Structure 1
């Protein structure tokens, strides 16, 4: 079946620039009925959807502690129904809160910081800042204390919005190191003692600031509305390398990026419900939620610990957020989809032979039908209804971003849940770059350029990637368009990755290596920083090795590592507990998880299983890891070993496993 052309090289040359066929006459700067700033955009939504449900939060009915067999104590929640604020109520809360901040001395065009979990108050704060032209500095809730202090000092914000939990666990110890800060505002409805905090700091609740702003004498103060060129957000990345960088994003950047994203989500409208649980300090979640609010959707809040009935913080027998909310749309990073895939497939393996065979037959049948553009209503009801219920039963579309999604996981999500759109973008491009089309059934690709962007390839001779490569041109990906941000905050030496062409268009050099297919769609094939040259001269792509070996059932997460003065690759693996214990039992090895991970027999068995996958996937001999270190502790953003999008932090992982690296390479 011939592929429909989705993008073209407007220069006629294989390196591009490539544009979506819908944007050959020019890139989209503004799509939302001429609303050119974020405050105007939300005002427009309030006019259209005023009384409709906007932001939803579940009531906490009870909180209990549960002691695990290993002695660890887990907090378990019983949650009630979602309570909704209408568009008008959110708008009023944002207006009052912004007015309250003004009366506390917050100035237009002066930065204000938010260090908080994903919740309705985060979005209300953002809308308040957009209305009053306060550039919002966003910091991930999972950043370490040093990184938070660094970001707050660099941006110089005087006011900080946060939660009581983060105040107690992370901020208390560093606030004395942030002298510019004068006000800390917490979003929770509870009393907080000022004991242990600097005396010069004014600490108050979001509600008290909102009440202050509602007073007529404060509400009637003139508001300085932002211009499209004004700074909207300074987004600190929890980057995979070094200290966090603040990306400067103006109103027109976000408007352009969202215009591009929304064009790839057919039928987006007030009948949709979006579940928000990824960090709002991440550009993928922020633009997804704001795009939904622009089209009148409901946004219900959740967290990775309360997402499903089986989630870690949900008390056994009570309902997770997806079951109650029944969302139609969600964004997810591949790590979360990989977990769902492995959990479901593991449960299928535990069923009897007839049930397993029926599932497999139905799965393969539906996969073939989907590839032909058809659906299977009977299979959906009889075989996949229970699986689909894990995410509420109504999901119609998922957006995957942040890292490559494996073909096996993508096929599984397409069959059991709904079509998955793969997206590619960076904080520096407002999360916009490419998204796969709703009709694209291919895997490993990230789609054609959005209508706000164009893509260009630059030869990288050292890595062996050029526009003359066959069968398709390859090279470092550069993204251009009105969604490309201004650069890094107070960090001019890092701004060499940004440039402006002869037509005045901004570009960003991504550091990722791409291949453009004949239909104009992009595939990410490598990353400059992930390429290591071995002692003998061969180049190994660590990302490629990891994506192949993640398909091994024993592997939950993996980091490949290679030293340039060595001749072989090693790796660290977070094993799948269930499969590892079953394998240990088969091998006659006994012990707790930590003991199994340190056992030489188990290391050898896991390595053997990975080598089988590597060989069948045609990895070259020198790409296949020779030694493995098993980690009993999972890598989460809280451990500091992965980013909030679950990308590996290679520098931190190297430090964490330094003694194991020396052991596996033979200490010199």
Structure 2
């Protein structure tokens, strides 16, 4: 199985039958602990076939959250009317959008913002578990436990077949032995890959004494859960000497409601960051209409006023979340 190539050239990952079986049995145990009723696998048509388990990447959940919040912000309700009417008009509709019978929601592939996870737990009354894994670990290797509130915002605890530890990354200021342990997440266990196909050099680089070095930076929580906070590989230095952990700040800028996706770039020859942004189409078109700007979505993305509007809103989000001056954006391309 080949990796996606998101952070570099795709690599062939050798996974044994034993690794797959270990992953299946681990998932079975997690589902038994999390969901006490019979399990039905997710099927394509939610409304017709009504799944009991729903799996989605964070972008799916974030889109649902954003759509609901836009409707709420469009008008208010009196306090004594809010609870029953939101149950009927908002919360019930959210549940029906998933088929009406979902008991368990799962997410992975990228961090799910804490506010989105809390929102879904409250509005849907579902158990929502966030996991973490890689192609090299046969997918899932950490998972949060449903209804353990301290695990909200984390990827949970190691699964049955996995051992995990942190390794210090001094160049990024992460100390695995500090009072709050932070460092590179390293894995060992039955579900790990055997190596990269025809790439012994890469295999030796990431597999050291039986421990797979993931390249992700984690923080152990007091309850034994892991929180992914950064990425070891994706750092660069600006011309003034400041290090930038790009995935961390991309996560902050992604919280801007005008953004569908964002990619941030910088190098040692420039003093500021730039971003390539896919804007939220409806939000951009609505702003253009209210500001007497004409044109289709593609032409709007090429206009100076629209670029400045998106840039200003992104930097406003950065200030709200207390990013530092050198982490602000100097320009955007839509």
> Do they fold alike, i.e. is TM over 0.5?
yes
Could you say what secondary structure the match of 2:5 adopts?
coil
Q: How does 1:308-347 map to 2 (within 5 A)?
A: 321-347=45-71
Aligned to 1:254: 20
Could you say what secondary structure the match of 2:183 adopts?
strand
- Residue 443 (1) aligns with residue 152 (2): yes
Q: How does 1:31-430 map to 2 (within 5 A)?
A: 235-265=1-31, 266=33, 268=35, 271-275=38-42, 300=43, 302=44, 321-350=45-74, 352-354=75-77, 362=83, 380=87, 383-417=90-124, 418-430=126-138
| CA deviation string 1:1-42 (max 9, x = no partner) | xxxxxxxxxxxxxxxxxxxxxxxxxxxxxxxxxxxxxxxxxx
Contact 1:400-1:421 within 8 A present in 2 as well: yes
| CA deviation string 1:46-92 (max 9, x = no partner) | xxxxxxxxxxxxxxxxxxxxxxxxxxxxxxxxxxxxxxxxxxxxxxx
How far apart are 1:412 and its partner, in Å? 2.4
How far apart are 1:380 and its partner, in Å? 4.9
Report the count of equivalent residues: 331
How far apart are 1:236 and its partner, in Å? 1.5
TM-score (norm 1): 0.47
Q: How does 1:550-561 map to 2 (within 5 A)?
A: 550-561=254-265
How far apart are 1:322 and its partner, in Å? 0.6
Contact 1:261-1:435 within 8 A present in 2 as well: no
| CA deviation string 1:264-293 (max 9, x = no partner) | 223657733221xxxxxxxxxxxxxxxxxx
Q: Distance in 2 between matches of 1:402 and 1:423?
A: 8
How far apart are 1:484 and its partner, in Å? 1.1
> Which structure has the bigger radius of gyration?
1
- Residue 495 (1) aligns with residue 203 (2): yes
Could you say what secondary structure the match of 1:239 adopts?
coil
CA RMSD of aligned residues (A): 2.3
Contact 1:432-1:453 within 8 A present in 2 as well: no
| CA deviation string 1:296-318 (max 9, x = no partner) | xxxx3x2xxxxxxxxxxxxxxxx
- Residue 467 (1) aligns with residue 171 (2): no
Could you say what secondary structure the match of 1:236 adopts?
coil
Could you say what secondary structure the match of 1:605 adopts?
helix
Unaligned runs of 5+ in 1: 1-234, 276-299, 303-320, 363-376, 631-668
Could you say what secondary structure the match of 2:172 adopts?
coil
- Residue 577 (1) aligns with residue 301 (2): no
How far apart are 1:516 and its partner, in Å? 0.7
Contact 1:272-1:327 within 8 A present in 2 as well: no
Question: Which of 544, 547, 569 is matched with 2:251 structurally?
Answer: 547
How far apart are 1:258 and its partner, in Å? 2.5
Contact 2:169-2:184 within 8 A present in 1 as well: yes
